[in-house]
Amino acid sequence: MNIKQIRQLDLTELKHREEFLLAELFNLRVQLAVNQLKNVKRPWAVKKQIARIKTVIREKNLSVVKTLSER
């Protein structure tokens, strides 16, 4: 999922995806600890996806605050 697709989602969907990815990252870390992880680049990709989602959530929150302060 690229940044354009992420920006089209609403806040509740973004938070849901963030929670899902955090759970996936936890599972990947457990798999890495017990040497069962097949794709060692996957945790890195999940972290980047989480960062993208958190960035968009922050942008949306700032735009709401800016809109409210202009009134």
DSSP 8-state assignment for residue 38: S
Judged against a pLDDT cut of 80, whether residue 24 lies above it is answered with yes
pTM over 0.85: yes
pLDDT for 50-71, tens place per residue?
Answer: 999 999 999 999 988 778 787 6
Neighbours of 53 (CB within 10 A): 24
Q: What mean pLDDT value characterizes the chain?
A: 94
Inter-axis angle of helices 42-69 and 11-33, nearest 10:
150
Q: Alpha-carbon distance 15 to 9, whole Å?
A: 10
**CATH fold label, 10-69:** Helix Hairpins (1.10.287)
